[in-house]
Amino acid sequence: MKQMDNRQLIIEKALELFCARGYDAVGVQEIAEQSGITKPTLYYYFGSKQGLMETILEENSRILEEMLEKAVEEPGDVPQVLYRVARAYFDFAGSHWQFYLFMLSQFYSGKKSEGFRAVYPRIQKYYQLVVRIFEDSADRLGNMGGRQEQFAVSFMGILDSHMMMLGREQDEEHGLVMTDQRTYEIVRQFLYGIYS
């Protein structure tokens, strides 16, 4: 049981440090010290700092991917499906705030960085799920004109922007909550841009 506790503690401390100062600014020694373990213990569990980052990404992104897949697969019209996707995204970001910030920071890091190469395939999966909504609805929306991918990028960008602004306004210790009303308004505003 102690081993599982150490592993989880390392993950939590590393994520806290990566979120506060950035992946590249944090070293293995600092993670070990903050976790109260030795460097060999960290290497035992993760092999390297990159292995630790991959574990953090894998364990957290799997949760978000499952939430988004469920939201997309349930039947409904476009506004309902987009609302469910937005709700899943906001709920995940609110309850996994440090990971969400870390994920976005790595996505916006240099294209050749370890972080970008590790996070890009995961974000690409989320993006493809949203593209599928617009592809499946092209006949009902009418004015897609081959812009399904563009709409998916815009929708995800809107979700990220709103979550980041909410995060700046609230205390992280009490969690971030995007209300249902605000979620409906965000989806409605986005759809107004498509339909107009």
Structural domain includes residue 39: yes
Tell me the pLDDT tens digit for each residue of 8-21.
Answer: 999 999 999 998 89
The vertex-122 CA angle with 164 and 175, nearest 5°, equals 35
Side-chain half-sphere exposure of 24, counting CA atoms within 13 A: 9
- Pair 33, 122 in one domain: no
- Pair 32, 62 in one domain: no
- Which range marks the domain in which residue 78 is found? 57-195
Nearest to 54 by CA among 15, 4, 104, 20: 15
- CATH number, domain of 79, equals 1.10.357.10
- Residue ranges of the chain with pLDDT lower than 50? 1
pLDDT at site 69 = 95
Tell me the pTM. Answer: 0.86
pLDDT at site 75 = 80
- Pair 148, 90 in one domain: yes
- Pair 103, 39 in one domain: no
